[in-house]
Structures are given as C-alpha cells and as structure tokens.
Amino acid sequence: MINIEGVSKRFGSNIILDGIDLRIAPGEVVSILGPSGSGKSTLIRCINGLEKLDGGTISVDGHRVDDPKGLQLARRCSGTVFQLFNLYPHMTALQNVTLAPIEVLKMPRARAEQAARELLASVGLGERAGLYPSQLSGGQRQRIGICRALAMQPRYLLLDEVTSALDPEMTAEVLAILGKLARSGTTMLFVTHEIEFAREISDRIVFLDGGRLLADLPAAQFFAPDGGLAQPRIAQFLSKMNKS
C-alpha cells in the first residue's frame, strides 16, 4: 500500500501540495487528473523521495520515504516512468532494461537478459533489443522506459504523463501497453491528460487543483453529474479538455 497522509510541500512561499491524503492499495489503478501546475509531478516526486516533505508522511509498504533506510526500501517497491524518455543514450534497449536488475538486484546477466527480452517482446519490441535510443521512435523509447521500470519487478508503477510528448499514433501504442498492464493487475498511479483512457482503466480518479485534492472517487462516479461533475472546478476542467 502507498499511504500518503497530510502531505504538504512548499517551494519558497508557494504552497504546492496542501494536506494531501491518498492511499493506493495493491491491484488498484488510480489516475491523477488536474490542470498544469496543480502539483501532480511534485506528488510523484515526493513518493520517490526526490522532494523533501514539509509536512505529513508517505510510506510505501510501510517504508517511510522521509527516512534514508526507509526510502531505499520504498524505492525498491516502485518503478517510475516520466514524461521525457530518460533512457541512457549510449546503451541499447536491452542494456537499458537490464542495467538495474544486474547492478541493483545482482541478477545474473543471462537471467536479466532473458527477462528483458521477454519484456521487450511483450511491448512489441522483441526485434529492437539491440538498437540505441536514437534509432527508435518516441513511442518505442517510452515503451522501453516502461520495460525498464518493470524489469525491477515493482509492486507499484508510477507514471507521470508518459504520453504527453508523443503524437497520437505513438500515444495509442503506449496506452495499449498500459491498458494491458492495468487489466493484468499491475498497481498503477497514473498522472495523465488522457481523460477517456483514464476513465476506462481506473478504479479511482483523483483530481488535484492548486495543491489540493478536490476529489477521490470511483471512476464512474467521478464522471457522474451528481459525482465529480457536480464540482464546478472539475466540470470546467473536463469541458476544457474535451474541447482541446
């Protein structure tokens, strides 16, 4: 379980996260929607221990991220994929995926490579294992980024706008993979602007605005006129997104 309790974060005098409470249980898919600048990425970075909390606590499977020992253990539990492809440019797809299992998990190379080949095949890139990031499309790189996270066998997959830099065709490729993962029971915390997709795959939808959590509802209820849509801020956001 990822347990976020009363979390606040400031940058200077700006309050970026303002008392966030959120729990993600194993097997759940939770999407985070919200306007740009609402604090979505900051929340993901707090879960990773990349930002220090100013208040509240976050624990991942009981490991507190504000404690150095706890953070190390917490990071083992979750894999993160960010918006920009942060693959190592001097390594092939296969090497990018096997690096952490070999270095961190001390997995024998042959086993790591076999697992990586299976992962790459599962995202349709079995034939591309030997290519470098510069030889691959954005959608292919992002699928490798997902494989790299999955290679560490995380209990939780954190995804921060992983399709925002992609054109519609590549977005569809990546969403297809994420849909498959969601249906196979992968626990996911999914920051996205793909509203329709979020509606399809999520157990719950969370709405952030100005660092506050305005809604945390089952997906169907989030989109219901007497549910999330009853909140003017959410209705306004969704109608704007539908027009764009």
Binding site for ligand ADP (CB under 6 A): 11, 16, 34, 36-42
For ligand ADP, the closer of residues 125 and 191 by Cβ is 191
Could you tell me which stretch among 22-30, 33-41, 59-67, 105-113 binds Mg ion (CB under 5 A)?
A: 33-41
| Residue 139 binding partner per list ligand ADP, Mg ion, none, with a CB distance cut-off of 5 to 8 Å that depends on partner kind | none
For Mg ion, the closer of residues 120 and 174 by Cβ is 174
Min. distance of Cβ 164 from Mg ion in angstroms? 8
User: What b-and-e string marks burial along 124-143, b requiring 16 or more CB atoms within 10 Å of the CB?
Assistant: ebeebbeeebeebebbbbbb
Q: Tell me the torsion sign for CA atoms 108, 109, 111, 112.
A: positive
**How many helical (H) and strand (E) elements, i.e. helices and strands, does the chain have?**
9, 10
| Residue 39 binding partner per list Mg ion, ligand ADP, none, with a CB distance cut-off of 5 to 8 Å that depends on partner kind | ligand ADP
Min. distance of Cβ 36 from ligand ADP in angstroms? 4
Nearest partner of 8 among 73, 58, 48, judged by Cα:
58
For ligand ADP, the closer of residues 107 and 166 by Cβ is 166
Tokens of 190: 């999914």
Could you tell me which stretch among 2-10, 20-28, 34-42, 137-145 binds Mg ion (CB under 5 A)?
A: 34-42
Q: Which residue is nearest to Mg ion (CB)?
A: 41
| Residue 185 binding partner per list Mg ion, ligand ADP, none, with a CB distance cut-off of 5 to 8 Å that depends on partner kind | none
Tokens of 217: 């509802």
Tokens of 145: 């980024």
Angle, CA 83 vertex, CA 25 and CA 111 arms, to 5°: 70
For ligand ADP, the closer of residues 51 and 173 by Cβ is 51
- Applying the rule CB under 5 A, the residues between 152 and 211 that interact with Mg ion are none
Quick check: 80 binds Mg ion (CB under 5 A)? no
DSSP H/E element including 210: none
For ligand ADP, the closer of residues 50 and 229 by Cβ is 50
Residue corresponding to tokens 């309790």: 5
Partners of 63 in the β-ladder: 60
Min. distance of Cβ 145 from ligand ADP in angstroms? 18
Min. distance of Cβ 165 from ligand ADP in angstroms? 14
Cβ pair 99, 91 in contact under 8 A: yes
Min. distance of Cβ 127 from ligand ADP in angstroms? 35
Quick check: 41 binds Mg ion (CB under 5 A)? yes
Residue 113: Cβ within 10 Å count = 18
For Mg ion, the closer of residues 44 and 112 by Cβ is 44
Cβ pair 178, 139 in contact under 8 A: no
Tokens of 66: 């504000």
Min. distance of Cβ 7 from ligand ADP in angstroms? 12
Cβ pair 2, 47 in contact under 8 A: yes
